[in-house]
Amino acid sequence: MKFVFTDKKVNLPNKVHAYAEKKVGKLDRYFKADAEASIVFSVEKDRNNVELTVRSGGTIIRVAESTSDMFATIDAAVASVERQLRKNKARLEKRLRQDAFVRSVEEEISSFVPEVEEDEFRIVRTKKFPIKPMTVEEAVLQMNLVDHTFFAFKDVDNDGAFSVVYKRNDGGYGLIEDAE
Distances (CA, A) of 30 to 27, 47, 100: 6, 29, 5
Q: Exposed/middle/buried for 163, CB within 10 Å: 0-12, 13-18, 19+?
A: buried
Helix (H, G, I), strand (E, B) or coil at 52: strand
H or E element, residue 90:
helix 89-92
Each residue of 1-41: pLDDT tens digit?
899 999 998 888 999 999 999 999 888 888 777 889 999 99
Whether the full predicted model's pTM is greater than 0.75, yes or no, is no
Higher pLDDT, 159 or 30: 159
Locate all alpha helices (DSSP H) within 93-149, ordered by sequence. Answer: 105-110, 136-146
> pLDDT for 91-142, tens place per residue?
666 656 555 555 544 444 445 555 555 567 788 888 887 888 999 998 998 8
Q: Is 69 left (phi over 0), alpha (psi -120 to 50) or beta?
A: beta
